[in-house]
Chain A
Amino acid sequence: MNKIGLIIKREYLTRVRKRSFIIMTFLGPILLAALYIVPILLALNSSEERRTIAVVDGSHWFEDRFTNNAEQTFIIVEGQPIDSVKEMVNQGAFDMALYIPPTQLNVPSNAILYSKRQVPLNIDTYIREVMKKEIEEQKLIASGVDPDIVNAVKTDINLSVMRMDDEGNEKETFTEVQFILGIILATLIYFFIINFGGQVMNGVAEEKTNRIIEVIISSVKPFQLMMGKIIGVSLVALTQFVMWILLTGAIYFGFSAAVGITHPESISSGTVMTQSIDTTDIMSNETIQQVVSIANSIDFGTIILCFIVFFICGYLLYGTLFAAIGSLVDNNTDSQQFTLPVTVPLIVALIASFYIINNPDGQLGLWLSMIPFTSPITMMVRIPFGVPIWQIALSVVLLVATFVFMTWFAAKIYRTGILMYGKKLSYKEIFKWLKYK
């Protein structure tokens, strides 16, 4: 036991001290943080830059329809020909000029926006929206509809999706958020298993090609060495995972404090949808409520717990297989025929995720989340949508049982493989090793 401890310690320390580990540990959170900090920065920057738009309205339909806000100011210019206004845009007096020609047949339907620079999409959309609405209203009124009715017809649809459970409780769900979360989790677990499983494989292969292996297994049992390595690397993975969460949090909150974004206390745990939080002054009450209810709709406790459980179980399953493969490596080209069958289920599970996400409770999702070789990934796709507890339990039991069996299987291959040099290996030969004493 003490010896396994020594091995774990060495495996852990040599990896954690590596430059690549340190770089990844700090780069990961910076990239993650950039994902939501950049949009916020952009939002903050663009709001500082007010754009002035000169409106030359030949039809006189829209003069009081354009409203000013933090990003745009509309200035109605009267009695000037469009050409001279264009000249003013050129000289920088205005950012843009909107020209709506005089109406020919009562209804204006075209307009021209002049600008020296690329027009921001939101201004473009806003102008279209305003003109379209106004024209539609005017047409309705022109055809004899009471303006009051026209106003009364205006409706905003607010579709809330409620999910009911067996006890009849209802819970609001946000499909888009679950969608994104599911894909992120599945990709993350795939990345972790491939990356750290690969580290186990390379570590074993390194000991074999270094020829240190025989020295070590004259001191410890091959099984101890294999498990020590797998556990040591899993601790490295967990360290990286925890560091990412902590650093991402630190960067995010540090940044928030620096630019003065205040957060409603209730959503401090939710990093999702932060893009929509700009500054408190423009965040309406409704947005806060929406963010709060989204954050509440996501069961972070279950997700983090499931991630850790499925990562550890999935990693252990694949880690033992990768260790067995590493023991077969003589030179790198050789290992291809053995790595492929092991990585295929992972790739299949990841690709299937993009189908499963559209129907998380379907047959494909159910089966792939039960098969131990795909369940760590598939389960993470389904978890944000809610998975019955019996399914999670069954999946974990199957995964653990397979892991235990595979450890036995891999250990048999491993202890023969690590001492086998310069021999071309076939699957048939490897299966014979299982019988060795």
Chain B
Amino acid sequence: MNISVQNVTKRYADHLALDSICLEVPEQSIYGLLGPNGAGKTTLIRILNQITAPDNGEVLINGEKLAQKHIATIGYLPEERGLYKKMKVGEQAIYLAQLKGISKPEAIKRLKFWFEKFEIGNWWDKKIEELSKGMQQKIQFITTIIHEPKILIFDEPFSGFDPINANLLKESILELRQNGATILLSTHNMASVEEMCDSITLINNGKRILEGRVNDIKRQFDTHNKEVRIRISDKSKLQALTDTYNNIKVCNEGDETLLTLENPDSELIHSIIDLGELVSFRELLPSINDIFIQEVQSKNRAS
């Protein structure tokens, strides 16, 4: 299922939370929704979940206007999440599945499968309050996907997970996409954005400031910097080069030298390679993290 958000505007009493936001989430992709705190991400996610309604604009799911019936096709893992502390794990998971329209026997069947997969089968009769935060997060994740939604919305899914479980979660999310789910991922963890997202949107103060495929964006912000690792026998030649060019940064690491070249021309590259024995040469694409910081700061300065 694809999601199309068209000119969605949401105004609260004293501020504009979303200002004509547009975005297209293609089917079977992982789409990153990025932005600083208070940018309006949660408001947008709540609109998609029909927790609040937009003042203007509309949301289309497969070209159909978002309606009550779509609730069963969406799975939502909110950032602020929790469970009934006094309720038993199994009972609670069944209840939440039933609220999504799954019959009780079907819910039990599917839960058993997921509990097995996450190796938590023996927690069924425990109370939530007896579990650690990370354990609760696992239950929470299972209850989000138990109704096999075609659309999944994850808001900071990795918070509270140790690296092993975070990896288990990441693999599960990738597997869900493989099985046809469309996934909207909102997170501040830029490493996971680079690893998982096909496309992203960056919003700031309710406005979209950047959108596109991750690789295209990186290309777009490419400053054409290169990194060279080289063993140099005659350091005086390097000295001559750095005197001529002011876009070389030098860092000595033992018998290897690490050179960062800011947008070098081919002449400089050739001269560098001739300096000695080349260990590695790679282009330095900006990270999503850098782009995020750069874009948000420049927008905030402009306003």
Within 39-66 of B, Cβ neighbours of A (below 8 Å) are at 46, 49-55
Given A6-B99, A210-B85, A211-B80 in contact, is the A218-B51 Cβ separation under 8 Å?
yes
Size category of the A interface is 20 to 34
- Please determine whether A215 and B76 come into contact, CB atoms closer than 8 angstroms: yes
- Please determine whether B99 and A211 come into contact, CB atoms closer than 8 angstroms: no
Query: What are 12 contact pairs spanning A and B, CB under 8 A?
Result: A6-B98, A14-B86, A210-B84, A211-B82, A214-B76, A215-B83, A215-B143, A218-B74, A419-B51, A435-B13, A436-B52, A437-B55
Q: How far is the CB of B139 from chain A (nearest CB, A)?
A: 11
Given A6-B99, A14-B87, A419-B51 in contact, is the A218-B71 Cβ separation under 8 Å?
yes
* Interface SS majority for chain A: helix
Given contacts A6-B99, A217-B51, 9 further A-B contacts (CB under 8 A): A14-B86, A211-B78, A211-B80, A212-B84, A214-B80, A215-B83, A216-B96, A222-B51, A437-B55
Q: Provide the bound-state CA to CA distance between A437 and B100, in Å.
A: 24
The residue in chain A whose Cβ has the minimal distance to the Cβ of B95 is: A10
Complex interface: chain B residues within 8 A of A215 (CB)? 76, 78, 81-83, 96, 140, 143-144
Complex interface: chain A residues within 8 A of B49 (CB)? 217-218
Q: How far is the CB of A363 from chain B (nearest CB, A)?
A: 43
Contact with A along B138-164 (1 / 0, CB 8 A): 001001100000000000000000000
Complex interface: chain A residues within 8 A of B71 (CB)? 218-219
Complex interface: chain B residues within 8 A of A218 (CB)? 49-51, 71, 74, 76, 78
Q: How far is the CB of B13 from chain A (nearest CB, A)?
A: 4
Residue A3 is within 8 A (CB to CB) of chain B in the complex: yes
Q: Provide the bound-state CA to CA distance between A182 and B199, in Å.
A: 70
Q: How far is the CB of B269 from chain A (nearest CB, A)?
A: 53
Residue B245 is within 8 A (CB to CB) of chain A in the complex: no
Q: How far is the CB of A381 from chain B (nearest CB, A)?
A: 38
Residue A421 is within 8 A (CB to CB) of chain B in the complex: yes
Q: Provide the bound-state CA to CA distance between A429 and B52, in Å.
A: 18
The residue in chain A whose Cβ has the minimal distance to the Cβ of B84 is: A212
Residue A220 is within 8 A (CB to CB) of chain B in the complex: yes
Complex A-B, nearest 4 residue pairs according to Cβ-Cβ distance, in ascending order: A211-B82, A214-B78, A219-B99, A210-B82
Q: B12 contacts which of A14, A217, A436 (Cβ < 8 Å)? A: A436
Q: A429 contacts which of B13, B54, B84 (Cβ < 8 Å)? A: B13
Most buried by A among B13, B55, B140, B144: B13
Residue A424 is within 8 A (CB to CB) of chain B in the complex: no
Residue A432 is within 8 A (CB to CB) of chain B in the complex: yes
Q: Provide the bound-state CA to CA distance between A7 and B96, in Å.
A: 10
- Please determine whether B95 and A421 come into contact, CB atoms closer than 8 angstroms: no
Given A219-B71, A432-B13, A436-B12 in contact, is the A214-B95 Cβ separation under 8 Å?
no
Complex interface: chain A residues within 8 A of B53 (CB)? 437
Complex interface: chain B residues within 8 A of A10 (CB)? 95
Q: How far is the CB of B85 from chain A (nearest CB, A)?
A: 6
Within 1-32 of A, Cβ neighbours of B (below 8 Å) are at 3, 6-7, 10, 14
Complex interface: chain B residues within 8 A of A6 (CB)? 95, 98-99
Q: Provide the bound-state CA to CA distance between A7 and B76, in Å.
A: 19
Q: B81 contacts which of A211, A432, A437 (Cβ < 8 Å)? A: A211
Contact with B along A397-437 (1 / 0, CB 8 A): 00000000000000000000001010000000100100111
